[in-house]
Chain A
Amino acid sequence: MSKPFVSVERLTQQFPDGAGGTLTVFENATFGIEKGEFVCILGHSGCGKSTIMNILAGLAEPTSGVVKMDGFEVSGPSLDRGVVFQNYSLLPWLSALKNVIFGVKARYPDWSKEKVEDHAKEYLAMVGLDGDAIHRKPAQLSGGMRQRVSIARAFANHPKLLLLDEPFGALDALTRGTIQDELVKIWGGTEQTVFMITHDIDEAIFLADRILLMTNGPHARVAESVEITLPRPRSRTTVVDHPNYYAIRNHLVHFLGERSKELAGQDTGAEDNKPETIRLGQTGPRPAPEPVLEPEPESSGPDLRAVNQ
């Protein structure tokens, strides 16, 4: 069995609880991300999603466990892992264009000024920003436009892994939908590997190839890995008519509503505490490579839950 592109192995994070003891936020979290895959992670507040993201970004150190990317252990932040933060994290004294240029210059220090600028403009245009808007400061842009700039900055750097920390959390529903469509469009064109945190079940289903489900904290862990058996390209209006859509959605709602509590603190029992792979509904032939799946005799049955290993 070959290792996935990004491999998170037995990650544990503990903090002092303020009363002399330690608080274990998550324990032995294990999962993998394949190259070109779009993975979302869902879980209640306090299960450590953001901490996992910070560890993947190299901004935080786990108490124990390792993250490997391309076979190398992750230590410290790197341009290979681009991050889009929830609060956009644009530098407010730079214009939208300069913010993207800031990233491109860091990634390609030997590029000429014109090349850097053209590249930045190209990616801003991809998220629908051009003309006067790109010369405005973040304070003069709407929340949606700011997040577009932030996404352009991350994509323009061609990171091997793109990390999105609730990128649409602060946006209204309409803007969110538009930017989700843009995100899917850019992602489709770049074969970018994406790992995204979200609170929104529908957003996760629409965007992801696979959704990781976390149990409640403390002692949270990644319990299930739900494959989104919906054909691409997906459209917001037709995807809900697909027979698998509600099967997946119901499963996710049940997990977050009940099972995330029941399963808290239990190990999966699998080797290395890997999450259970869930595949719901009728699956057509999938073009994407199948991750860590051993031969599964019953994997094509309707509404069937297949257990990996």
Chain B
Amino acid sequence: MPRQTMFSGGGKMIRNFDARSAILSFVILFAGLFIWQITTYVPETELVGTVLSDEQQEVLLSKDMAAEDIEFYASQGIEFSQIDQIAGLGLSREMIEMAGGIQALGISAPDENSAPAPGSLFPSPGQIGTELWATITDPFYVAGTNDMGYGIQIGYSLLRVVIGYTLAAAVAIPLGFLIGMSPLFYRALDPYIQVLKPISPLAWMPIALFTIGDSELSSIFVIFICSLWPMLTNTAFGVANVRADWVNVARTHELGSVKTAFTVILPAAAPTIITGMRISIGIAWLVIVAAEMLVGGTGIGYVVWNEWNGLRLDRMIVAILLIGVMGMLLDAAFARLQRAVAYTE
């Protein structure tokens, strides 16, 4: 009787539900990867080379041509008659290359660019997997200013986000408290907040670059300005909506305004404030990628743009994947914080 098993043993059903959702997730993943693999599949092209008969080999060897040179020219797809011509020159491969290659000597050879184009430039999941593994196993290498491990590049981005975000929190939360507790300040500052809030954070970039001058500080400023608004408005809303009863409890216990703010209003408004902080960190992580594409230099956003310019799509996709994972971790950290301060009335 399947009906009975459905309705008996809730815990078991939830475990089954977890397992079912996990299985479905994997099915979707493998289906996606499979389709991706198919569409980016490039059939192994036949080795473009000339097959020399034993007699032809003998002829060339008898003209004092090194065996490995014969093999090399054959692999380049050069016909026997032309190799014979090269052999007639009596020059080693090194000397020919120093002279500018066989083309410079008037011997026609198949052009590399005329080789059949591969089916797709877009990397297959396999290629990305290889690149991802390389990144995971060696995330912190430094091989030059434009070639650093993604661990380091994510670190740069994270540092900018943390600095800009912390500054924003240091301004937004006290200011939000003030606005939330004082109707006068709320009314006075509301128009500014309403106008400044919808401005795209990147629109501040030119102003920042002009006034601050430094591109590093400018991207931090952009993070600051984009993290500010959700924290500010949520803190103000949370503080303004603390139940009057709880404030009265503080008043009847003769708590001063500072003590009331910390022992009653802060814990009461904490869930709303943390929600604002969670929205802010999400926006900051979105914006840092765009900001780094704009200012360049370091950071995971710059990496994406740099790999695109170098047409290393496999590395670019790995970088994009890392951005997603990092964003998820940041959000999860705030979700945990949110649960820690939550309360039910």
A residues contacting B by CB (< 8 A) are: 57-59, 76-79, 81-83, 85, 87, 89, 91-93, 102-103, 106-107, 137-139, 157
Contacts and interface: CB of A to CB of B under 8 A. Distances in A.
B198 to A, nearest CB: 34
Nearest to B344: A139
A78 B245 CA distance: 16
A156 to B, nearest CB: 11
A92 B343 contact: yes
B139 interface: no
Chain B interface residue bracket vs A: 10 to 19
Given A102-B263, A139-B344, A139-B345, A79 B249 contact: no
B211 interface: no
A59 B253 contact: no
Given A91-B246, A93-B270, A139-B343, 4 more contacts: A89-B245, A91-B264, A92-B345, A106-B253
Contacts of B263: 102
B251 interface: yes
B255 interface: yes
A79 B253 contact: yes
Contact of B252 (A81, A92, A93, A137): A81
Nearest to A107: B253
A59 B252 contact: yes
B248 A106 contact: no
Nearest to A154: B252
B252 A77 contact: yes
Contacts of B255: 106
Q: Which 8 A-B pairs have the closest CB atoms?
A: A106-B253, A139-B344, A93-B343, A89-B245, A77-B251, A92-B343, A77-B252, A93-B267
Given A85-B245, A89-B249, A102-B263, A77 B344 contact: no
Contact of B248 (A76, A83, A92, A103): A83
Nearest to A81: B252
Majority secondary structure, B binding face: helix
Contacts of B264: 91
Interface of B: 245-246, 248-249, 251-255, 263-264, 267-268, 270, 341, 343-345
B249 to A, nearest CB: 5
A139 B345 CA distance: 6
18 contacts: A57-B252, A58-B251, A58-B252, A59-B248, A85-B245, A89-B246, A89-B249, A91-B246, A92-B344, A92-B345, A93-B270, A93-B343, A102-B253, A102-B263, A103-B253, A106-B253, A139-B343, A139-B345
B270 to A, nearest CB: 8
A137 B253 contact: no
Nearest to B342: A93
A137 B344 contact: yes
Contact of B343 (A89, A106, A137): A137
A91 B249 contact: yes
A308 B344 CA distance: 51
A107 B249 CA distance: 13
Contacts of B267: 91, 93
Contacts of A92: 343-345
Nearest to A91: B246
B254 A79 contact: yes
Nearest to A54: B248
Contacts of A93: 267-268, 270, 341, 343
Contacts of A59: 248, 251-252
Nearest to A88: B245
Contacts of A106: 253-255
B252 A83 contact: yes
A68 B105 CA distance: 117
A193 to B, nearest CB: 16
A85 B248 contact: yes
Nearest to A57: B252
A106 B255 CA distance: 7
Interface centre among B253, B263, B344 (most CB of A within 10 A): B253
Contacts of A103: 253
Contacts of A91: 246, 249, 264, 267-268
